[in-house]
Structure 1
């Protein structure tokens, strides 16, 4: 992917500002995006959205400084295509190809380097933001817009939209070697996570990347990877083989850097099974170029709109189902307790584990975590039957309560049921309102709580 250059970028920013100025006061504002990785409903905002068509690329890469200037709507797929030829990658590359850099910063993201490098916004050096006031401001941690820089992560577009971000990059070798270590108890796996986070090593070998999968309480795997310079035959999980299933059959593995970064995208972790894409015959007939997360997401949106599968289930006498699609962050010390509760109360597996910690002591008020404390992201994505005597949303509410009880938080890309008081307490209301009043004084952009929870 060829860098766009600054003149082209400035023209795209001018187009965006003009489209924002054309939105009548009082009308909802949204981005005109082709793809979305949200699982909560997007509010209707008329036929047109803000024109971000020219803000989807890389502006410049500095391989010596190991930085990249990137437009807000650039997908990580395109960003990685631009950095890998230099032997570089973003410090954190979220799992799905069409997640945008601006989306990962304003809405959070995570991956297997997060145990060392934190969340994507922690590698941002500076960012340009189109604010609710219609201005472009450059926010850094040490300038007059430091409050916006701190409040932007987890604001989900309610304070403004990133048009340019300067981020740090890190070296990556052409191949990644992996060890898939089985544990017969989740607590043993979490003890291994603690050791890696404390020492950076496991069994005498350096660790660069770390995540894990729980298939059942008695069977879980910790995947430890090293950016090693070796070469050799590499695995391929874009064809008939399925990555998550390989953890059960391979003690070691090797992937190209590119295939490692997108190892989860081909089958949307394991969620492609819901569409039959893991059945051998269907898989052979389903073109590989269409086995990717954004295709599955479009299928889900069609189902949400027309409810064909739900109607078929009802005709078969099956109960309605509640969507439970969540990522939650728990302190490592309480992750075992949460997993024990979850596996006993929510009939859903596998479960993804991704250790993380804040990269520095910087405070991020809209998603407060404690510097120096290890956490684990727990991801679970699917549906559960709505049993007699319960209603849609009960399982999600129970999860929210348990996560809060254990000192954790959950990402806000999916269904949320918090009351206003609880939401404000968990997600930095004081800092948010101060930034909102300063950078969106007319409150033209949808309030964060209204955007996330709405009128539930």
Structure 2
């Protein structure tokens, strides 16, 4: 596989050399999980399909060499037979490893394993200058190694990554713990993440679901060997509804990792997929987040929902699709604001603490601080006269006020000076001069804000 990979690198260099001088570099990718809807790349986009394989899984060292365009679905399929999994597996099957590292990722192991980029040992990166460099934390490209996360393909593209893996067991046993008070829930998150246990039982996985200010659940998972009485949420049954109905549950490890993908958390409801009749007729192979995203992309492109709302005399709606990191001691403040001013439910909670002591320049979280990722994905009606981005701007202001951080996979409204203050423009410009001096890759602000 490594010989095949090296040949693919040579072929990619040839593709790049054949492009006109100064032509922008873009990738031809079949899927994306970004929520910045744009026209597909043109004919000159680089074909990177050869970088979608798992090159090697090494059991003794618990590492894997993986192509940068490899989806987590394929990566998990390759590692589970060895009794291993990536340290953090983002929720959606078609997220790629390179995408999660360049654009950040999070899941229920993040309270102990941080984010996907923190388990990377080395990266082979195609830079904007057209070079293929090996970036490690201890070599001459360490600045790119640490600056790559949150660069969103504006410094280069990861062609190969070596990552750490961890041992798993066949199943994950779950407890859904209900809270009727946000402060008690936030306190429990802090305590569980510090002790890695709850009520005398170990906790290997933790995330949460907020249905309202008085109905919150923490879902606590532990690796287990018992394979009896497993639940299956890949067909007619819907995982997020089970959180309210069951105190305990058990899933295969693979089904646990993809528990959110089948219904795109709960967002498939907006597409009618959770209706019992539709559910019965909808092919099981299409109960997937990438299918739903393509449907949403078509809706956005042709403004189908907006036109229908207009015919019904309903107000225009604003997409509010965001993930934000809030310090756990400010979580209650954020949720109170969110319930009052935004009003989306359910909301996802996922604790995260950086795994090491070092910081990552373009997403400068405090390594000593526990954060909670708050995820919300819906549309909100606009008041008469309210402009585009009204609710998203409110959220951005609140996140800054609470010393939080906002992921950039969706729409952003920061002005340029504020953006570079939040995302370390000084370090970014130094990296850009070193690895993309001709500006063949887009600028981070242009990509994440101007072209929303």
Q: TM-score, normalised by structure 2?
A: 0.98
Give the aligned CA root-mean-square deviation in angstroms: 1.0
Candidates 298, 301, 307, aligned match of 1:305? 301
Report the counterpart of residue 224 of structure 2 in structure 1. 228
Structure 2 residue 124 is matched with structure 1 residue 128: yes
List gaps (5 residues or longer) in structure 1: none
Q: Structure 1 residue 455: deviation in Å?
A: 5.5
1: CA distance between counterparts of 2:13 and 2:47? 9
- Paired residues in the alignment total 452
Structure 2 residue 270 is matched with structure 1 residue 274: yes
1:173-211, CA deviations, whole angstroms, 9 ceiling, x for partnerless residues?
000000000000111111111111111110000000000
Structure 2 residue 403 is matched with structure 1 residue 382: no
Report the counterpart of residue 433 of structure 1 in structure 2. 429
1:26-59, CA deviations, whole angstroms, 9 ceiling, x for partnerless residues?
4332110000101013366423311101110100
Alignment of 1:24-423 (within 5 A): 24-42=20-38, 45-423=41-419
Verify the 8 A CA contact 1:16 1:52 in the aligned structure 2: yes
2: CA distance between counterparts of 1:43 and 1:412? 19
More deviation in 305-314 or 80-89?
305-314
Q: Structure 1 residue 20: deviation in Å?
A: 2.1
2: CA distance between counterparts of 1:96 and 1:217? 27
SS in 2 for 1:297: helix
Q: Structure 1 residue 239: deviation in Å?
A: 1.2
1:309-329, CA deviations, whole angstroms, 9 ceiling, x for partnerless residues?
211111111111101000000
Q: Structure 1 residue 452: deviation in Å?
A: 0.5
2: CA distance between counterparts of 1:22 and 1:331? 48
1:362-392, CA deviations, whole angstroms, 9 ceiling, x for partnerless residues?
2101000111210000000010011113112
1: CA distance between counterparts of 2:38 and 2:97? 19
2: CA distance between counterparts of 1:296 and 1:21? 37
Verify the 8 A CA contact 2:317 2:379 in the aligned structure 1: yes
SS in 1 for 2:46: coil
Q: Structure 1 residue 114: deviation in Å?
A: 0.2
Verify the 8 A CA contact 2:22 2:438 in the aligned structure 1: no
SS in 1 for 2:224: coil
Moved over 3 A (4+): 42-45
2: CA distance between counterparts of 1:426 and 1:161? 23
Q: TM-score, normalised by structure 1?
A: 0.98
2: CA distance between counterparts of 1:196 and 1:271? 28
1:313-352, CA deviations, whole angstroms, 9 ceiling, x for partnerless residues?
1111111110100000011111110011001100210000
SS in 1 for 2:60: coil
2: CA distance between counterparts of 1:116 and 1:47? 43
Verify the 8 A CA contact 1:76 1:99 in the aligned structure 2: yes
